[in-house]
Amino acid sequence: MTDDTDQTRTDGSGPNIVPPDDETPTWHERKERSEGLSRVTYEYFERGRLEDQRLRQDSDYIERDVLGFPTWPHETIRNLSIASFFVGIIIALSATLPPHFGDEADPSVTPEIIVPDWYLYPAFGLLQLDPINPELALLGGEKLMSDELYGIAATTVVIGVLFIYPFVNKGSARRPIEEPFWAAVGMGGLMFGFTISVLSIDQIVADRMPGLTAPLIFDLTLLLPLVTAFITYAVLKAMQEGYMYELNRRYYRLRPPR
Amino acid sequence: MSVKPQDEFDRKAWLQEQDLTHLETIYLKILIYFDTRFRLVDYLEMMESLYYKANLQMPKSHTEQYNLDNKFWYWYPLYSLGLLTLLAYIVAAVSGALLGLYYAPSAEGDPSTAYSQMIFIMDELDFGLMLRSIHRWAAQFMVAAVFLHMLRVYFTGAYKEPRELNWVIGVILLILTIAFGYTGYLLPWNQLSMWAGQIGLEMALASPLIGEWLAQLMFGGFEVGQPALMRMYIVHVFLFPFIVTGLIIVHIGIVWMQGIAEPH
């Protein structure tokens, strides 16, 4: 009988059991986290959740049963067929065009033509911009930067532009026609990527194509991108008006431009 | 006592109500005769549903939905370039792992071990030439697909809010892919490899302030030799695979979370 008074019993009574009353926090109250960062976090997400709920209630948008393209079978089969086609092309090319293999490395013999793989042509071409490396009269016609450093600086600029690009070109426009300027920048950049690649192998190109000389290639490297950008801008600007009518009618009603 | 057959649908009464010609009545009576015996209506329903299943419309692809057919940048294959990059990466990884079984990164000896192992792979190893060929072509395809993928993202404005960070990761992946290719280009240790290494070394040395440190880090000295080959090998088969695979997972994970940028 003494056991009964000391120990917790199966019916929930006992010396150490405090019955729940108004003072005891409920589960919901405990979840609310009454202090510190956890409280701020809770309030932030709770506000977001309520906002979502409110938006959903106020919205007159009719939710469709199917919001997207079905994954099976449509998307899956399409992707599988594209994938097998692509891997098939790799294998077919590998079987028909095995890679070139040159002579053994020899530090004492400099090959006539040093070329990297094609995807390094742009970087290689940026190293050959030394004719426009400014010579400062202050330094007695000496260059401020070595030609290699100048090439590295040019590469850094290109990569830097790529990095900050989405933070510079903001807004919700998506089609090139909506922003002729940025489309022109893109086409100019694309053309510069091509011409700078040609510049990196200008010796080979000049040998193969008698009309092109190395200085001409250099001039074209800087001119063609500008011309391309200008033409792109002019064409898109001329097309824009007629095109925007359709865009306004179909699409801006759903997504007003910022 | 027999159970009288009953027509639940009372077809006879229905037939009387209709105002039919003689021919139609006969036709319907025959039809009713067979339908009560063979439940033709079930088969009709089956045929009908088969017809609709066979003629299901494919949902309109996004280009059709947004009236974008004949707009080049919204052509569907351009939207699968990211997948193609991943596929080429996987093909290159598998073939590269197999090549790694036979390659040795050593510039010692005459001809150097690396070069003679390459000759061995290409001339004597079964399917060795094919294996190297696949590895190289997959690498070329990966770089090309990465570049075209970037163009597609640029010209469809898919980098815009909220996807700027994924663009930044993508630029990092582009640089890493090219560096991946560069380190791989050096491994066969032929003339082009070594002199491409020389250019890289000169570029590293020309960097301001950290030039010498960078050259030592990347090439293990101030001339392209055994240390450079070893470093390129480790970067190519150990360092970059982890970094690039991780970044690809993050990149695709973010696309998964944010969804494909709607073409407009």
Q: Based on the number of CB atoms within 10 Å of its own CB, is A198 exposed (0-12), middle (13-18) or buried (19 or more)? A: middle
Report if residue B263 sits inside a domain: no
- Of residues A100 and B252, more confidence is placed in B252
More confident residue, A13 or A229: A229
Give the residues of chain B that fall short of pLDDT 70.
Answer: 1, 5-7, 54-70, 262-264
The per-residue pLDDT for A50 is 81
pLDDT at A251: 62
On whether both B47 and B68 belong to a single domain, the answer is no
Q: Where are the alpha helices (DSSP H) in A68-213?
A: 76-96, 121-126, 147-168, 180-200, 202-208
Q: Do B196 and A116 touch (CB under 8 A)?
A: yes
> Span A7-21, mean pLDDT?
67
Domain shared by B139 and B42, yes or no: no
Whether residue B205 lies within 8 A of chain A, CB to CB, comes out as yes
Quote the pLDDT of residue A210.
Answer: 84
User: Do residues B29 and B140 both lie within one domain?
Assistant: no
Distance to chain A for B6, nearest Cα, Å: 44
Q: Residue A3: pLDDT above 60? A: no
pLDDT at B143: 96
Residue of B nearest to A252 (CA): B264
Mean of pLDDT over chain A: 79
Whether residues B43 and B77 fall in one domain = no
- In chain A, the residue whose alpha carbon lies closest to the alpha carbon of B202 is A148
A118-143 confidence digits (pLDDT tens): 998 988 888 888 777 777 666 666 77
- Cβ of residue B98 closer than 8 Å to a chain A Cβ: no
**For residues A167, A169, A171 and A173, what is the CA-based torsion angle, rounded to 10 degrees?**
-140
**Looking at the domain assignment, is residue B18 inside a domain?**
yes
What integer is the mean pLDDT of A178-199?
Answer: 93
HEC secondary structure over B113-128: HHHHHHHHHHHCCCCH
pLDDT beyond 50 at A1: no
Q: Which residue has the tokens 């106020």?
A: A58
Asked if the model's pLDDT at residue A2 lies above 60, the reply is no
Residues B152 and B102 in one domain: yes
- Containing structural domain, residue B185: 62-258
A90 → closest Cβ in B138, B168, B224: B138
Does B66 share its domain with B47?
A: no
Residues of A within 8 A of B164 (CB-CB) are 166-167
Considering the domain architecture, whether residues B171 and B149 belong to the same structural domain is answered as yes
Nearest CA in chain A to B191: A105
Q: Which of B154, B158, B191 faces A103 most closely, judged by CB atoms?
A: B191
**Residue B69, CA distances (Å) to A79, A109, B98, B154 in order:** 19, 55, 43, 19
Q: Are residues B23 and B107 in the same domain?
A: no
User: Do both B47 and B66 map to the same domain?
Assistant: no
Q: Are residues B254 and B193 in the same domain?
A: yes
Whole-number CA gyration radius for chain A: 34
- Nearest residue on chain B to A126, judged by CA atoms? B203
Q: Most confidently modeled of A93-107, A137-151, A153-167, B57-71? A: A153-167
Q: pLDDT per residue over A44-98, tens digit each?
A: 777 777 877 888 788 776 655 544 556 677 777 877 888 899 999 999 999 999 9
Is B160 among the domain residues?
yes
At B228 the pLDDT is 93
Q: Check B136 against A255: CB less than 8 A apart.
A: no
A245 vs A113: CA distance, rounded Å: 54
Alpha-carbon gap, residue A16 to A6, rounded angstroms: 9
Q: Both tokens of residue B122?
A: 């290409």
Gyration radius (Cα) of chain B, Å: 34
Q: Decide if B6 is inside a domain.
A: no
| Mean pLDDT of all residues in A159-169 | 93
Is residue B154, in this structure, part of any structural domain at all? yes
Residue B1 lies in a domain: no
Residue B264: inside a domain:
no
Residues B71 and B166 in one domain: yes
Number of domains in chain B: 2
* B117 close contact with A: CB closer than 8 A: no
Is residue B56 in some structural domain? no
Give residue-wise pLDDT tens across range A20-41: 666 666 666 666 656 667 667 6
B156 and B40 in a common domain: no
